[in-house]
A and B are shown apart, each in its own frame.
Chain A
């Protein structure tokens, strides 16, 4: 059974860097695409980006290059860093595996349970 579990600080100060880790169990991170997605009342569900085991990354341009996703296959986990945060980055952050039957398309399954992050001084 594939499971994902997010962890990280629940409170981050404005202008600082948000850091989250997603530990994967039940499957190797040397396969699949590994994604971060966030959800806030104001913006709904927003895709942040993904990393592939080869090191290929793809980010949502709306984040203006503030996001960095990295992968540690030795620990079977991947991470998100989001710099220069503001109150608008307050959200529940989910990690998710993307299953791709075709190289360019897939779906998210499963998701982690979510990590609530508040940006406030």
Chain B
């Protein structure tokens, strides 16, 4: 199985801060990497697919980059509605696997 490791597991930030989350795959997954946002009590919601393509209606302050084994999700200017948990997911091979999540909290 491909292991997905996210860091940090949690972070505290203020509104307006730039935030970067890292996801590392245990082997190369090309750009078959997706990012999801999950708010408490809700299902995950797709933010970015193919490592860097924003899903429709996702604000442009979100961006993704990377290829191979190392990927990043960035939020250029954190907004109150962005406080949530973020997960990466590899689509390179089954079993499909997710990172452990990064919880973004208010400082």
Contact = CB atoms under 8 A, between A and B. Distances in A.
Contacts of A46: 98
A113 interface: yes
Secondary structure of the A contact surface, majority rule:
strand
A19 to B, nearest CB: 20
Given A105-B92, A112-B43, A47 B97 contact: yes
A26 interface: no
A44 B100 CA distance: 6
B95 A47 contact: yes
Interface in A34-90: 44-47, 58, 60-62
Interface stretch (B11-19, B44-52, B63-71, B72-80): B44-52
B88 to A, nearest CB: 10
Contact of A108 (B89, B95, B100, B101): B89
Contacts, number: 48
A45 B94 contact: no
A108 B94 contact: no
A109 B55 contact: yes
Nearest to B32: A105
Interface residues of A, number: 19
B43 A94 contact: yes
A113 B43 contact: yes
A106 B42 CA distance: 22
Nearest to B93: A104
A105 B91 contact: yes
A108 B97 contact: no
A111 B101 CA distance: 17
A74 B42 CA distance: 29
Interface of A: 44-47, 58, 60-62, 94, 105-114
